[in-house]
Amino acid sequence: MANKGPAYGMSRDVQSKIEKKYDDELEDRLVEWIVAQCGSAVGRPERGRLGFQVWLKNGIVLSQLVNSLYPAGSKPVKIPDSPPTMVFKQMEQIAQFLKAAEEYGVVKTDVFQTVDLFE
């Protein structure tokens, strides 16, 4: 992925609207829920939109979250021993999470797309 420079015009307006919608309180609640569900081994993100995004971006925390909803022995997502560093491997991990979430009962229209964590 290429580094992006500053946004101008309509791009800046769209980015500004996205940033205004971000809810720090909701982030805190989600982090607490994920840690309660998965255990403290998942760690905690740096505060803010970017820190939360980076925490979820490699797909490991998301995979642990969906696996925590299933009983031992029937975990739907395989988690690698070391977190993936290559982007396509991270996207694969997230895709496995999304597939497992749909199988769990999350409606497809309520699920984000893998690229949403990378843009």
Which long-range CB contacts under 8 A does 88-97 form with residues at least 24 apart?
90/57, 90/58, 90/59, 91/59, 91/115, 91/118, 92/59, 93/58, 93/59, 93/60, 93/62, 93/63, 94/59, 94/62, 96/59, 96/63, 97/59, 97/62, 97/63, 97/65, 97/66
pLDDT grade for 20, boundaries at 50, 70 and 90? confident
Contact 63, 54 (CB under 8 A): no
- For residue range 43-92, what is the model confidence (pLDDT) as tens digits? 999 999 889 989 999 999 999 999 999 998 899 999 999 999 999 999 99
pTM: 0.80
Positive or negative, the CA dihedral 92, 94, 97, 98 is negative
pLDDT grade for 32, boundaries at 50, 70 and 90? very high
Of 22 and 35, the one with more pLDDT:
35
Q: What pLDDT score does 4 carry?
A: 64
Domains of the chain: 23-118 (1.10.418.10)
